[in-house]
């Protein structure tokens, strides 16, 4: 990375960090994104081509309610291995996998940490990796490994993330990596707004936030992927289309969950992610000459992962 490109990246990062990623109490947090229309630029196209997810459930609540882990695994598996990924093929992102999951206790009388900054979360995550509490560790020049950290139900964000439901971040873990290689999403689970009636209700309360953070992290892992100059990612644009920013957030049915739409450059609109990939739009995107037919693709299988590999 040249000095000039580094300074451009730093300036872009500062713009992005002026706002939170997924707002639940602040409908106007991504207001400038909600009226976006056009093409979200690829920039350096730093994406996750085949995301590998590690779940980290932190807190005593997950120990006393072990079925939350099973249901959370189902949610994330439904997202990363299912048709939710269809529309992401246009950005070069194919199907992913869930690599593992970890429950980390905070035994009473210890209390859940509050006023957590992004730096607090990063340091905790790095400590767990270094200690071997969670694994695997990011490889040198890692691009696809992502941790999803579900906070303790008594935890709160610091003032800088007040009103946030979650965010995704990045960091350089290995000194020999050429770019940032540690990627994670932090999901707020504070009981003041969650549906705590059952474990299923609890996880369903989080589905729209998890879907938002995943579609953004997969297509913009380190602020050098698909994002606008204003720091709008494909999830921010579609969390609401309210021009006066009085409401948030729009959700659509997906399997047994309620998830968010995300922006499609192909459609110039927000899409329900589970719609089939349009072969016509794919062929147009790669400028296949219609006279040669599908033989030009030189593949006997044309699926989401094949489309993603060609984008």
pLDDT at 262 (0 to 100) = 96
In a domain, 82, yes or no: yes
Range of the domain at 249: 29-35+43-271
Taking the complete model, does pTM exceed 0.75, yes or no?
yes
Same domain, 186 and 298: no
Q: Which two tokens stand for residue 107?
A: 């035994």
On whether the CB atoms of residues 150 and 73 are closer than 8 A, the answer is no
Residue 294 confidence (pLDDT): 61
Which residues make Cβ contacts (< 8 Å) with residue 280, sequence separation at least 6?
none
Residues 194 and 103 placed together within one structural domain of the fold: yes
Q: Which helix (H) or strand (E) holds 308?
A: helix 304-310
Residue 20 lies inside a defined structural domain of this protein: no
Same domain membership, residue 283 and residue 264: no
Q: How many domains does the chain have?
A: 2
Domain shared by 245 and 215, yes or no = yes
Q: Which of 309, 224, 275, 160 has the alpha carbon at shortest distance from 12?
A: 224
Structure tokens at 244: 């006066």
- CATH number reported for the structural domain that contains residue 151 in this entry: 3.40.390
Q: Is residue 205 domain-shared with residue 295, that is, in the same domain? A: no
pLDDT confidence of residue 179:
96
- On whether both 142 and 251 belong to a single domain, the answer is yes
**15 belongs to a structural domain:** no
Query: In this structure, what token pair is assigned to residue 148?
Result: 């999803």
Q: Please identify which residue in the block is written with the tokens 């938002």.
A: 212
- Among the listed residues 245, 279, 290, the one whose alpha carbon sits nearest the alpha carbon of residue 86: 279
Six-digit token pair at 142?
A: 């890692």
pLDDT digits (tens, 9 = 90+) for 162-193: 778 899 999 999 999 999 999 999 999 987 87
Q: Are residues 170 and 300 in the same domain?
A: no
- What value does the mean pLDDT of the chain take? 87
pLDDT tens column, 27-66: 567 888 888 999 999 999 999 999 999 999 999 999 999 9
Same domain, 114 and 232: yes
Quote the tokens at residue 137: 């560790």
Mean pLDDT in consecutive groups of 10 residues from the start of the chain, 311 residues: 32 45 64 90 97 98 98 98 96 97 97 97 98 98 98 94 89 97 96 89 96 97 95 92 76 95 95 83 72 62 78 80
Q: Is 287 helix (H, G, I), strand (E, B) or coil?
A: coil
pLDDT in tens, 196-206: 999 999 999 99
């Amino acid at each position: 990375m040249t000095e000039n490109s580094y300074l451009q990246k730093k300036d872009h990062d500062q713009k992005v960090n002026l706002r939170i990623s997924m707002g639940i109490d602040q409908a106007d947090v991504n207001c400038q994104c909600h009226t976006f229309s056009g093409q979200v630029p690829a920039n350096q196209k730093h994406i996750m081509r085949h995301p590998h997810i590690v779940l980290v459930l932190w807190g005593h609540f997950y120990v006393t309610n072990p079925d939350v882990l099973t249901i959370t695994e189902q949610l994330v598996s439904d997202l990363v291995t299912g048709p939710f990924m269809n529309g992401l093929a246009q950005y070069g992102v194919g199907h992913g996998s869930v690599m593992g999951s970890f429950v980390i206790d905070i035994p009473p009388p210890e209390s859940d940490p509050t006023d957590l900054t992004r730096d607090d979360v990063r340091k905790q995550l790095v400590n767990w990796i270094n200690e071997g509490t969670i694994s695997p560790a990011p490889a040198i020049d890692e691009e696809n490994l992502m941790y999803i950290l579900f906070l303790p139900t008594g935890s709160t964000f610091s003032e800088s993330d007040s009103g946030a439901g979650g965010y995704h971040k990045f960091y350089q873990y290995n000194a020999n990596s050429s770019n940032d290689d540690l990627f994670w999403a932090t999901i707020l689970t504070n009981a003041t707004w969650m549906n705590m009636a059952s474990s299923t209700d609890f996880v369903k309360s989080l589905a729209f936030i998890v879907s938002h953070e995943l579609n953004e992290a997969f297509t913009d892992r380190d602020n050098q992927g698909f994002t606008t100059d204003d720091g709008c990612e494909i999830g921010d644009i579609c969390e609401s289309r309210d021009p006066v920013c009085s409401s948030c957030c729009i959700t659509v049915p997906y399997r047994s969950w309620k998830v968010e739409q995300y922006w499609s450059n192909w459609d110039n609109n927000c899409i329900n992610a589970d719609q089939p990939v349009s072969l016509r739009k794919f062929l147009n995107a790669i400028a296949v000459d219609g006279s040669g037919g599908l033989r030009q693709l030189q593949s006997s299988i044309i699926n989401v992962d094949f489309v993603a590999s060609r984008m």
